[in-house]
Structure 1
């Protein structure tokens, strides 16, 4: 059997990527792929695991038809849950299920898919498949249970006919009455990763060929501003295999060098990574203030009765706005619309004003 490379895409666009090389069902190599290598990695089949929080995963009863018709049907069935227009989304389908069973569907924004492909090309590889992290988690045997694997700052959850990646403080809310069973054994996580590499449950790349060949700049716009570092299961597995203090010092040097490349004035500070995070949080969103403002106006217009009352751009504090609207769920609608265009909306305050709600929000780049 030819080897397969499995890559875990990190949250920060200038970070190296953990990888495994699998041959005959066994891991033969593990390590980190650096950006813009002098010598490209060995060509081989490559599967990348992407953040599941950025992907909508559902099991749907789709009508009979070809792939194009079923993708269109999936987009139509989920239209009320999606803020972005269908021409900005990629819909991927899982294997054909048994008669009477729903089919796995995954949807992601085309700009984000292009960004992921651009990042992988910056590593010197071309992906054959992109798989959301939530779908590598083994499905539990009982309906009343959820399996969970931590991927950096998110928790990937998998149930019967259910998969999602959420922030840790939302796990209990999402789980409801279901029991959450964390998978923390690195060997068990590695087996799940190997299984996903050898037989991807879904391939986001199969939905739109035009995401291939994306430029590297797209990843920087969508992800380099995220200001997050990932400690992934692959890194933990590599550590368990024998990393020592020298590796930690090398990783620190790499992080400092990365900061020095993008922000030389911060490299001499005691904690340059945290200093860069603070700068990122106050930086203008991707596309600049004009692009963010246009996206915000469009998002607010999607909410009936909502009004944009105030918009402030401060070099120290970033971009903030105040929106008046009717229901507390309206800010989630605005946030979904902004995320589809590459922006992250965070509600910082909400006030009930004579039957109307006034929400203060900040606007930054989506992860």
Structure 2
């Protein structure tokens, strides 16, 4: 096996970086890489371990879809956690899990990821992979336990389906009610680092696949991409029927059987096909409730002074909302943004409430 260089990037970018050279699963060399050293290190595969406190790590139930769509879905699920514009974030995904299992996701600031790359360049090396330090901590066997390893001023905590780096005085708060088992043996920590370098749990550099070149996204586009993954089988069946009504009429018995399978409560209606069609018309395509809600939030946030006062989702009547805004032209801007996502906004009432305009709307498909 070719040797691997494992570099620990310090929390302060002015400090040198400790490293190990691993060959055949064992440490062949230890040392420290100095910034802007005259002699460049020997070229070899390099794995950098970065401070985990800078990364948001979660295990998420992601819908099936392409890599770009799954990254967008993960980013949208973490929207309230990261609180940073989408085009400033890099999203890395772990390996594809077994069916029904959540997928490992790591989100880090794009500028910080670039700063780590620049730091490594100043050391005279180029990383082939970048891993948050917390992901080198071994996962415990018990659900009620967290393994803990100190990396610089932070404590890396790892549990089953959990990983976070926190300040030492926050460990008890974050861990509760799980017990914390510190790993203090340097040899055990080193073995965990070696294992992570040999079998990468996640690679932050893989996030650059979506951020290189011109592929950059804002929250509205993230919402749209995420929404594409949320199309329900019911909507797919009905949309196909609407697009090819002639074919549906040619095989009514088959259509009824399919409706009975995906929506048995509609099979007893006098006209099951029409009942299914009406349900689709009141449902928010193309991304179902999640996609439509994401598009609505993005549209409202894009209009200065506009606020979403009320959102109602009912399987029978579809989506309804109340939007407070300052100008009568605002709803046109919101409707235009929604239409770009395949959604139709219909104003049902508008009133002036103490200097604020409140518009009640329904949300459906563009027909």
Q: Secondary structure at the match of 1:208?
A: helix
Separation (CA, whole Å) in 2 of partners of 1:24 and 1:103? 30
Q: 1:209: Cα distance to partner?
A: 4.4
Separation (CA, whole Å) in 2 of partners of 1:56 and 1:187? 27
Partner of residue 122, structure 1: 122
Q: 1:47: Cα distance to partner?
A: 0.5
8 Å CA contact 2:90–2:211 kept in 1: the answer is: no
Higher RCO (CA 8 Å, separation ≥ 6 residues): 1
- 1:176-215 aligned within 5 A: 176-209=176-209
Deviations 1:133-155 (A, max 9, x none): 11100000000000000011100
- 1:147 lines up with 2:147 in the alignment: yes
- 1:18 lines up with 2:52 in the alignment: no
Q: 1:65: Cα distance to partner?
A: 1.0
Q: Secondary structure at the match of 2:71?
A: helix
Separation (CA, whole Å) in 1 of partners of 2:210 and 2:42? 24
Q: 1:80: Cα distance to partner?
A: 1.5
Assess, with a 3 A threshold, how the Cα gap between structure 1 residues 38 and 211 changes in structure 2: closer, same or farther: farther
Partner of residue 82, structure 1: 82
RMSD: 1.9
Q: 1:175: Cα distance to partner?
A: 0.4
Partner of residue 51, structure 1: 51
Separation (CA, whole Å) in 2 of partners of 1:181 and 1:34? 33
Can you give the 5+ residue segments of structure 1 that lack an aligned partner in the other structure?
213-300, 305-367
Deviations 1:325-351 (A, max 9, x none): xxxxxxxxxxxxxxxxxxxxxxxxxxx
Partner of residue 8, structure 1: 8
Structure 1 length-normalised TM:
0.57
Structure having the higher Rg: 2
Structure 2 length-normalised TM:
0.57
Separation (CA, whole Å) in 2 of partners of 1:159 and 1:21? 28
Number of residue equivalences: 216
8 Å CA contact 1:22–1:29 kept in 2: the answer is: yes
Partner of residue 228, structure 1: none
Can you give the 5+ residue segments of structure 2 that lack an aligned partner in the other structure?
213-303, 308-367
Separation (CA, whole Å) in 1 of partners of 2:159 and 2:210? 32
Q: 1:82: Cα distance to partner?
A: 1.8
Deviations 1:306-336 (A, max 9, x none): xxxxxxxxxxxxxxxxxxxxxxxxxxxxxxx
- 1:103 lines up with 2:103 in the alignment: yes
